[in-house]
């Protein structure tokens, strides 16, 4: 069976879908299922080849992951401003405790946040990673978050964060 090209599918390829099954084949022919933190480097250096099965419409088809940069951007290994809405810079953040927070002394609190640097949060996990690096913030990525925009104002994001990490 000849694998299809994931690169040809471009951004439509479901790199991070839970139903996408990765298969990594090492130089020596060892087959392993799934990916780990070293998969990208091994594939990039030619120590292994990466394939994926895209179930659904293409259920019978195997894809070769031939655009490793796109794979890495999808998985956040390479930062992608287009995908995340976030530039790689120190964000200009304004924040306050949410006026709706009923437990302001709890370990996690609701905050309202605006970005004065022009970024938009499309990918909360990527933003949380950046804020952890930049300011030591611990933003919850498992729960819900929302954004609202009033005309003439920045978008306001409602997020949850560990209170003691905020500065």
Binding interface with Zn ion (CB under 5 A): 87, 91, 117, 119
Nearer to Zn ion (CB atom), residue 27 or residue 88: 88
Alpha-carbon dihedral angle through residues 141, 115, 83, 25, given to the nearest 10 degrees:
-40
Q: How far is the CB of 97 from Zn ion (least distance, A)?
A: 22
Q: How far is the CB of 96 from Zn ion (least distance, A)?
A: 18
Query: Can you name the residues that pair with 22 across neighbouring β-strands?
Result: 52
Q: How far is the CB of 87 from Zn ion (least distance, A)?
A: 5
Judge whether 53 and 62 are in contact, CB under 8 Å: yes
* Backbone region of residue 29 per phi and psi (left: phi > 0; alpha: psi in -120 to 50; beta: other values): left
Nearer to Zn ion (CB atom), residue 55 or residue 85: 85
Nearer to Zn ion (CB atom), residue 10 or residue 136: 136
């Amino acid at each position: 069976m000849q694998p299809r090209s994931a690169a040809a599918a471009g951004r439509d390829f479901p790199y991070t879908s839970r139903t996408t099954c990765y298969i990594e084949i090492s130089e020596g022919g060892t087959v392993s299922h799934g990916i780990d933190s070293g998969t990208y480097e091994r594939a990039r250096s030619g120590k292994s080849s990466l394939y994926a099965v895209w179930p659904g419409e293409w259920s019978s088809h195997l894809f070769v992951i031939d655009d490793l940069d796109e794979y890495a951007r999808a998985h956040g290994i390479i930062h992608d401003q287009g995908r995340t809405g976030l530039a790689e810079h120190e964000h200009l953040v304004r924040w306050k405790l949410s006026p709706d927070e009923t437990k302001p002394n709890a370990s996690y609190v609701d905050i309202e946040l605006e970005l004065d640097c022009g970024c938009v949060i499309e990918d909360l996990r990527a933003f949380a990673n950046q804020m952890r690096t930049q300011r030591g913030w611990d933003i919850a990525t498992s729960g819900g978050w929302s954004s609202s925009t009033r005309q003439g104002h920045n978008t306001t994001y409602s997020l949850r964060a560990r209170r003691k990490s905020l500065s």
